[in-house]
Amino acid sequence: MPKTKPLFSDFSPANKDSWLGKITTDLKGKSLDSLDWQMEENIRLSAVYAREDQPASTAPITDGRSSNSWQIGEYIDVQDMGGANAQALEALMGGVNAPLFRIHHLPSMEELEILLKDIQPDFISAHFAPEYPGKDPAELFRNLIYYTRRRGIDMRTVSGSMDFDPLLDWVEPPFKALARVLDFAVDYLPKFKALQVNGRELHSGVANTSQELALILAKGVEYLSQLKQLGVAPATTNKHLQFSVALSTSYFVEIAKLRALKILWGNALAGFNLSDAPIPPISAHLASESQTDDREYNMIKAATQTMAAAIGGADIIYVMPADYQIKGETSKLTRRIARNVQHLLQMESHLDQVVDPAAGSYYIEQLTRHLCEEAWQQFQRIESKGGYLQLVNL
Confidence of residue 394 (pLDDT cuts 50, 70, 90): low
| Mean of pLDDT over the chain | 93
- pTM for the complete prediction? 0.94
Residue 63, pLDDT above cutoff 90: no
* Nearest residue to 227 (alpha-carbon basis) of 259, 270, 195: 195
Instruction: Give percent of the chain with pLDDT exceeding 90.
Output: 78
Element (H, E) at 364: helix 362-384
Q: What is the DSSP letter of 321?
A: P
Say what the pLDDT of residue 83 is.
Answer: 96
Q: Is 157 exposed, middle or buried (0-12, 13-18, 19+ CB in 10 A)?
A: middle
Residue 296, pLDDT above cutoff 70: yes
Specify whether the CB–CB gap between 351 and 310 falls below 8 A: yes
pLDDT tens digits for range 33-43: 999 999 999 99
Reported as half-sphere exposure (CB side, CA atoms, 13 A), residue 318 has a value of: 22
Q: How far apart are CA 62 and CA 272, in angstroms?
A: 21
The whole-angstrom distance between residue 208's C-alpha and the CA centroid of its chain comes to 17
pLDDT tens digits for range 205-240: 999 999 999 999 999 999 999 999 999 999 999 999
Residue 79, pLDDT above cutoff 70: yes
Residues 6+ apart with CB under 8 A from 303: 341
Instruction: Give percent of the chain with pLDDT exceeding 70.
Output: 98
Domains of the chain: 71-393 (3.20.20.240)
Say what the pLDDT of residue 99 is.
Answer: 98
Residue 251, pLDDT above cutoff 90: yes
Q: How far apart are CA 70 and CA 352, in angstroms?
A: 7
Confidence of residue 58 (pLDDT cuts 50, 70, 90): confident
Please compute the mean of the pLDDT values over residues 325-333 and round it to a whole number.
80
* Phi and psi angles of residue 76, each rounded to the nearest 5 degrees, phi first: -120, 100
Say what the pLDDT of residue 327 is.
Answer: 67
- In sequence order, what E strands does 69-193 have? 71-78, 98-103, 125-130, 159-162, 192-193
Q: How far apart are CA 123 and CA 137, in angstroms?
A: 23
> What is the CA angle 318-342-69, rounded to 5?
90
Say what the pLDDT of residue 218 is.
Answer: 98
Confidence of residue 11 (pLDDT cuts 50, 70, 90): confident
Say what the pLDDT of residue 373 is.
Answer: 97
Q: How far apart are CA 54 and CA 35, in angstroms?
A: 20
Residue 360, pLDDT above cutoff 60: yes
Say what the pLDDT of residue 59 is.
Answer: 85
pLDDT tens digits for range 141-173: 999 999 999 999 999 999 999 999 999 978 899
Specify whether the CB–CB gap between 195 and 228 falls below 8 A: no
Which residue would you say has higher pLDDT here, 12 or 300?
300
Residue 136, pLDDT above cutoff 80: yes
